[in-house]
Amino acid sequence: MRRWTERMPCDSCGYSKTVANIEREIDGKNVCVELCERCLLEGSPRNDNWLRDILARKERGDRKARSDVCPNCEMTEDEIGSENRPGCSTCYEFFESVIEKLIRESQQGEKKHKGKKPGQSV
C-alpha cells in the first residue's frame, strides 16, 4: 500500500474523502483504485469485474454522481442534519429540500422563521 500525502478523489464517485486504496493485478496489470467509504461499502472490492468497471469509468472521466455530498465543501446530508447548519452557500441550493425540512421541523411546520414567541409583539 502506498502512503497518501493528501486525499485522493474516489475513483468511483469523485468524492475526495477516500478511505481505502485497493491494489491488485488485473489482466496482467497492477492497478490501484481509491475509494470513499460509501463506495467501498456499496461495492464488491474482491470482484475484479467491479474494479474493471470503476477503472473504465475513471478512464472515460465518467463518475457516479453522489447526491448526498455538497460539490463545494463536501458536507454530507447527514452532517447537515446532525449539525443543523449547512457548510457553505452551495449547500443551500444543493440540499434545499433537506434544509427546508429542518426549518419546518424546528418552526412547527412553517418555512419562515417567526421568532421565539410568534404572534406576540415585542
Q: Given this model, what pLDDT does residue 15 score?
A: 74
The backbone torsions φ and ψ at residue 26, rounded to the nearest 5 degrees and listed phi first, read -130, 125
Q: Given this model, what pLDDT does residue 1 score?
A: 43
Alpha helices, H only, the chain: 37-42, 48-60, 77-83, 89-94, 96-106
pTM here?
0.51
What is the domain class of 1-66 according to CATH? alpha beta
Question: Would you kindly state where each structural domain of the chain is located, as residue ranges?
Answer: 1-66, 67-112
Q: Tell me the pLDDT tens digit for each residue of 66-96.
A: 667 787 787 888 888 788 788 888 888 888 8
Which of 64-68, 95-99, 104-108 has the lowest average pLDDT?
A: 64-68
Q: Given this model, what pLDDT does residue 6 score?
A: 53
Residue-by-residue DSSP string for 70-95:
-TTT--BHHHHHHHTS-SSHHHHHHT
Q: Given this model, what pLDDT does residue 4 score?
A: 45
